[in-house]
Amino acid sequence: ISSVLARILFCPTLAYNVVMEKISSRDWYNRVDPTVILGALHFRSMTEELVQSEKVRGVITMNEEYETKYFCNSAEDWQAVGVDLLRLSTVDLTGIPSLEHIHKVYIHCKAGRSRSATIAALHCWSPEEACKMLASVWPHVLIRSAQLEILQEYFKQVWPGPLSSNTVVTPPFILPELLRGTRDQ
């Protein structure tokens, strides 16, 4: 039922995101760090800006196929401008993303609030620190409790021991395979 609801609400919520970007302080995308950009749906009209100005060479889309069919570049369109596309289809509103391998990335879903923010959080610090940091650069981020649980489970798998109050966790401890070779370019 959540998949059906997500499809029904797609156009109204996309329109809402476009309006909010125009009338509020929301940006369509923001840098998380020098190699990661977190944002909303990448419209075709943004291609030149993302490739030329932002130097994006990979896009991870958390969207299902129907969400990008009419407004966004296809994998072939991205390939034509030297950008790899990875689709990690995740149901909007309730979905919990999974991880895959890619190079420099633009991580997005429809609004850049939950699905893509969860993936961007995996790149950062402890789950709680990551959520705070993402909210500081992308104020309307919404990491739901189920997504936070996934972040915490993943963190436990990759962090080699307990954290104390004086433990300093620095990126990119969680996703070295995601950013392999991009930090020194």
Residue 174 three-state SS: coil
* Cα→Cα distances 47→69, 126, 142, 143, 150, Å: 15, 32, 26, 27, 31
Q: Given 11, 72, 109, 131, which residue is catalytic?
A: 109
The number of domains in the chain is 1
Residue 109 known to be catalytic: yes
Residue 20 inside a domain? The answer is yes
8 Å CB contact between 176 and 182? no
* Residue 89 belongs to a domain: yes
Residue at 94 is within a domain: yes
pLDDT values of the chain reduced to their tens digit, one per residue, 185 residues: 588 988 999 999 999 999 999 999 889 998 877 778 989 999 999 999 999 999 999 998 889 999 999 999 999 999 999 999 988 888 887 666 554 433 456 788 888 888 888 777 766 567 888 788 778 877 888 888 888 887 787 777 666 666 554 444 444 433 333 333 333 33
Residue linked to tokens 């919990």 = 96
The CATH number assigned to the domain holding 9 equals 3.90.190.10
pLDDT at 185: 32
Tokens (6 digits) for 76? 């072939």
Q: Which domain holds residue 100?
A: 2-158
